Amino acid sequence: MSTSGVGKDGMHGERPGREAQVGKGPQRRGRKRGRHRGEKAMVPDAEFTSYYGRPILNPPVWKASDVAAYFFLGGLAGAGSVLAAGAHRTGRPVAARALKISSLAALGGSTAALIHDLGRPERFVNMLRVMKPTSPMSMGSWLLVAYGPAVGAAAVLDVTGLFPRLGGAATAGAAALGPSVCTYTAVLAADTAVPAWHEAHRELPFVFAASAVAAASGMALVTAPPRETGPMRTAAALGAALELAAAKILEHRAGLAAEPYKKGKAGRFVRAGEILSVAGAAGGVLLGGRGRAAAALSGAALLAGSACTRFGVFHAGTQSARDPRYTVIPQRERLRAAAG
């Protein structure tokens, strides 16, 4: 509509609105226009404002049943590989085999969940089109490319009894990569504008690592005889304790962004996760060495607790993205602090 235009040579023609005297009015008595020059009327509002209460961010479109499950299963697989290698080397063959199989199954499940969550699942291979250090999802995909064959070989060679040397090497390889498989998903969540995830970027990897150890220990308690699960019971206790500690530090450090972890659906999942993890770890340590049934029950509680924690973290993120307060207030405070 404007009479001007822009060409390869640049802009030409007069633009009508640019100099519009918006806000011009007659001079009022006793007020000099010059007074306003450079005057700052931008005293920040004390109270919170938003655009009709609408979120600033576009909340994640990820489905909890896919992505929270992917976090959980990835942790179960990764920590399971470390425990499997430990069991393998210390003469605990039943636990080692069970954990190798569960890691392979969990990895399969987590990959399936990830692919299922894509808007274009048939284009999954595009994940391997580039290798991008700035994208945790790209790095994670490549990590899984290295980890998958190791986990697969460890499980298959153990079950078939073929090439024990190679099986040992695969077991060790999976154990070396396993911890990163557990923690990179925390970076994946934290590397977003979602307040509850981003503000927790220091603590979230520890929460995920600890929760993964608790889950894999639980799996060992469910699947292996008590005479082999001594280390796993200790690991479960350590995992549950560290998970609680990391969550407490998170609550303390993340400020307002930690609030969603205590509210609504996220709050219920987080609380259930805490109760189940503590109960499972306590049951494992006190009773897990005595009877198979008590051990299995404790293990199941540990697994469920870890899953609840991941769903809690997931929902805390989406809740914080949906409420503009979590985006605006910390940013306002930051600006105010910077202004002195």
Partner 1 sequence: MGGLVGRNLLAGPEPDVAADAGHPDPPPRMGFFTDTSVCIGCKACEVACKEWNAVPEDGLEFTGMSYDNTQGLGADTWRHVAFIEQNKPMGHAETGAGDGGATDLRWLMASDVCKHCTHAACLDVCPTGSLFRTEFGTVVVQEDICNGCGYCIPACPYGVIDQRKGDGRAWKCTLCYDRIGAGMEPACAKACPTDSIQYGPLDELRERAALRVDQLHDLGVDDARLYGHDPDDGVGGDGAFFLLLDEPEVYGLPPDPVVTTRDLPSMWRHAGMAAAAMLGGLAAVFAVHGRAGGGR
Q: Which is nearer to partner 1, 81 or 312 (CB)?
A: 81
Distance CA 322, CA 104 (A): 36
Among 41, 46, 160, 340, binds partner 1 (CB under 8 A): 41
Using alpha carbons, select from 306, 284, 281, 307 the residue that is nearest to residue 295.
284
The residue from 12, 253, 292, 334 that contacts partner 1 (CB under 8 A) is 334
* Look-up of token digits 């306003």: 36
Residue 61 within binding range of partner 1, rule CB under 8 A: yes
Of 209 and 278, nearer to partner 1 (C-beta) is: 209
Contact 295, 247 (CB under 8 A): no
Residue closer to partner 1 (CB basis): 56 or 64: 56
Q: Is 168 in the site for partner 1 (CB under 8 A)?
A: no
Q: Does 308 bind partner 1 (CB under 8 A)?
A: no
Question: Which residue in the set 112, 146, 156, 192 belongs to the binding site for partner 1 (CB under 8 A)?
Answer: 192
- Binding span for partner 1 by CB under 8 A among 102-110, 148-156, 183-191, 258-266: 183-191
Q: Directed axis angle between helix 204-223 and helix 164-190, to 10°? A: 140
- Reference 92, options 296, 210, 233; nearest CA is 233
**Closer residue to partner 1 in complex, CB, 182/301:** 182
N residues, the chain: 340
| Per-residue x/- track, 240-269, partner 1 (CB under 8 A) | ------------------------------
Instruction: Compute the distance between CA of residue 322 and CA of residue 340 in angstroms, rounded to an integer.
Output: 30
- Residue 186 or 278 with smaller CB distance to partner 1: 186
Report the nearest approach of partner 1 to the CB of residue 262 (Å): 21
Q: Closest Cα partner for 81 from 140, 187, 152, 143?
A: 152
Contacts 24+ apart (CB under 8 A), 14-18: none
Residue list 88-117, contact with partner 1 (CB under 8 A): 89-92, 117
Burial of 117 (0-12, 13-18, 19+ CB in 10 A): middle
Is residue 3 at the binding interface for partner 1, with CB under 8 A as the rule? no
Tell me if 293 contacts partner 1 by CB under 8 A: no
Q: What is the distance between the alpha carbons of residues 111 and 250, in angstroms, rounded to a whole number?
A: 28
- Rounded Cα distance between 250 and 207, Å, is 9
Which position among 74, 148, 167, 205 is part of the footprint of partner 1 (CB under 8 A)?
Answer: 205
**Angle, helices 93-117/136-160, rounded to nearest 10 degrees:** 140
- Nearest distance from residue 11's CB to partner 1, in Å? 6
If the CB atoms of residues 109 and 330 are measured against partner 1, the closer one turns out to be 330
152 binds partner 1 per the rule CB under 8 A? no
- DSSP letter (8 states) at residue 258: G
Site stretch for partner 1 (CB under 8 A), options 101-109, 121-129, 147-155, 275-283: 121-129
